[in-house]
A and B are shown apart, each in its own frame.
Chain A
């Protein structure tokens, strides 16, 4: 089983739609969780951290479910510029701390 798993997509949605991605992680001792965004052929960039209580940043909402070991990212009112790959990242403690990246979920927003 992969340490961090994501549905690769692509998710094809029209502008204005709401879309949600999930990510599951294997290590219950994982400490911190993040969503990164990666545009085609570009470097990943931090989109937002994921807090236990859930957090929102504009149209983006991230949630954590420790019991089920998954995190989610909700994007409301999708824009064309949201088209990208979204990487789930987990800080795991396996004797030492290690950031583990999911393979990413691709989102395509169309006019």
Chain B
């Protein structure tokens, strides 16, 4: 089954404790992206990757890091989480942005930073 898988789905952590949210897709997509969704603000792009070893900042990259060592994986790293990073996070992928608007999303990771 074609899918984007994120882990963990739910996480409560404390300020400053490094964490990684994993994202994996099995569709051989070139493009992957991370979004956060907050009430009233909609989906905002954090980072994206056009292909392996190619990553770039989105609209709200501060406090986040990513890597793309393999095509299928695109982890999101919070080196020192803060309460303002409490949010619902989505990973998404598509064959190549621009060819189609169909992004395939993971189920989301709800993160709470105390």
Partner of A43, one of B97, B101, B102, B108: B108
Is A81 in the interface zone, CB < 8 Å from B? no
Q: How large is the interface on B (under 10, 10 to 19, 20 to 34, 35 or more residues)?
A: 10 to 19
Is A44 in the interface zone, CB < 8 Å from B? yes
Q: Which of A58-66, A67-75, A96-104 contacts B (4 or more CB under 8 A)?
A: A96-104
Verify A102–B101 contact, CB threshold 8 A. Answer: no
Secondary structure call for the A interface: strand
Q: How large is the interface on A (under 10, 10 to 19, 20 to 34, 35 or more residues)?
A: 20 to 34
Verify B43–A44 contact, CB threshold 8 A. Answer: yes
Which residue of chain A lies nearest to B42 when distances are taken between CB atoms in the complex?
Answer: A103
The 8 tightest CB contacts between A and B, nearest first, are: A103-B42, A43-B105, A34-B101, A101-B43, A97-B98, A46-B102, A101-B42, A32-B101
